[in-house]
Amino acid sequence: MPVTIDTYNKIKEKYGNISSWALWAEHADNRSKIGMDDISFFDNPSHETLQLLNPNIILVGLNISEKILRTFGNFHPDKSIAQDYKTRFAIQGSMFWGAYMTDIIKSYEEKISGNLMKHLSKNKDFEKENIRLFKQELLDIGSKDTIIVAFGNDTYNILKRNLDYPIYKVPHYSSFIKLDTLRLAFTELENAI
């Protein structure tokens, strides 16, 4: 069932500064970083855009590396050094295009995942609170028959030890991975689901 404009606006209001959707503006070269910062279509989404949104497939990262200043700017960086463009290339034309995107750990800015994992190992209640927030987020976005795809081992391990949803793993887009390798991981996953 498509996301209505009312639901979209509620999600935008509550989660717009920490989440996004797996949609990017069309550009001739989706193998490059060109156009990753163009999220103007999220401002007043067209009927066609709303039809593409899928709150039942959730792509999950670990955490934000720095504060997100643009609504639905997560996974749509305005800096050319980011590796998020690999995700755009990997999922274009697949069942994952239009999926909801979020992080399992909220409001914790850290560029080095090892530092976050150390923090979690010393702060079990912090992890539990973030799991609670994630479950509430899934309810709020209206996710049904939820399929969760974790980017990387750390995210996968946190999700797997805390949730009973089907959880799948793909390599993290910021790792040293070729575009075609990440695309193949998503293709294989789509064929397996």
Please provide the DSSP assignment of 22-43 as one string.
Answer: S-----S-TTSSTTTT--GGGT
Annotated domain spans of the chain: 5-192
Residue 80 confidence (pLDDT): 61
Which of the four pLDDT bands, split at 50, 70 and 90, describes residue 76? confident
pLDDT reading at 112 higher than 90: no
pLDDT reading at 190 higher than 80: yes
pLDDT reading at 28 higher than 70: no
Q: Per-residue pLDDT tens for 148-177?
A: 999 999 999 999 999 999 999 999 887 778
Which pTM value belongs to this model? 0.92
* C-alpha 40 chain-centroid distance: 18
